[in-house]
Amino acid sequence: MTVSYTLLGLLNEADRHGYDLKQSYDRRFGSVRPLRFGQVYRTLAQLERDGLIETVGVEPGSGPDRKRYAITTNGVTDLERWLAEPEDPQPQLQTVLFTKVALALLSGKPADAFLEDQRQRHLAVMRELTAAKRGASQRDTMLIDYQLFHIEADLRWIEHAAGNLDTLATEIRL
């Protein structure tokens, strides 16, 4: 999910100020990584430049004047197109985990020890996320489940890699 399309979606719901957009984004999507104000205003400037949003009012605030933004017809069309497009799976062929295993094998370091440490770290994060689910809202539970499923996939890869270190070491050294 990109920030620009998320902001378009929030503006499709209602006209808003930049501050309001940031608060709405953080409340709905930012529990893991809230937006920085600079990112909000930079993205709004790009969306306005591209004709996807427009300023529909300027109001005095306690600091600088506050612009109120609205999505344009082109913005609605672009948002609807983006929402209708399925996302391509993104296999990560050069992930950090794979790179560390390959470099450990190339340098003669114990890749199995690294994989075990990584497995323990993944399990610890899974325990933390599972504890965070208790009493969480449905939205937060869905986000946590998404993270848990990705960690589970990493754990399967770690187990697979650990079982194939000898073969991998031979191939990597060629």
Q: What is the pLDDT of residue 108?
A: 73
Examine the domain organization and report whether 8 and 78 are in the same domain: yes
Q: What is the mean pLDDT of the chain?
A: 86
| C-alpha to C-alpha distances, 20 to 7, 62, 111, nearest whole angstrom | 11, 15, 48
* pLDDT tens digit sequence for 85-141: 776 666 564 467 887 888 787 767 778 888 898 899 999 999 999 999 999 999 899
Q: What is the pLDDT of residue 93?
A: 47
Examine the domain organization and report whether 166 and 121 are in the same domain: yes
Which residues are paired to 53 by β-bridges?
A: 71
Q: What is the pLDDT of residue 34?
A: 83
Pull the structure tokens for residue 27.
């409340």
Which residues are paired to 141 by β-bridges?
A: none
Looking at the structure of the chain, the number of domains it has is 2
pTM for this one? 0.64
Collapsing DSSP to helix, strand or coil, 13 comes out as: helix
Query: Last residue of a domain, which of 84, 113, 148?
Result: 84
Full domain range(s) for residue 57: 3-84
* pLDDT tens digit sequence for 30-59: 766 789 999 999 999 999 999 999 999 988
More confident residue, 73 or 25: 73
Task: Say whether pLDDT at 1 is over 60.
Answer: no
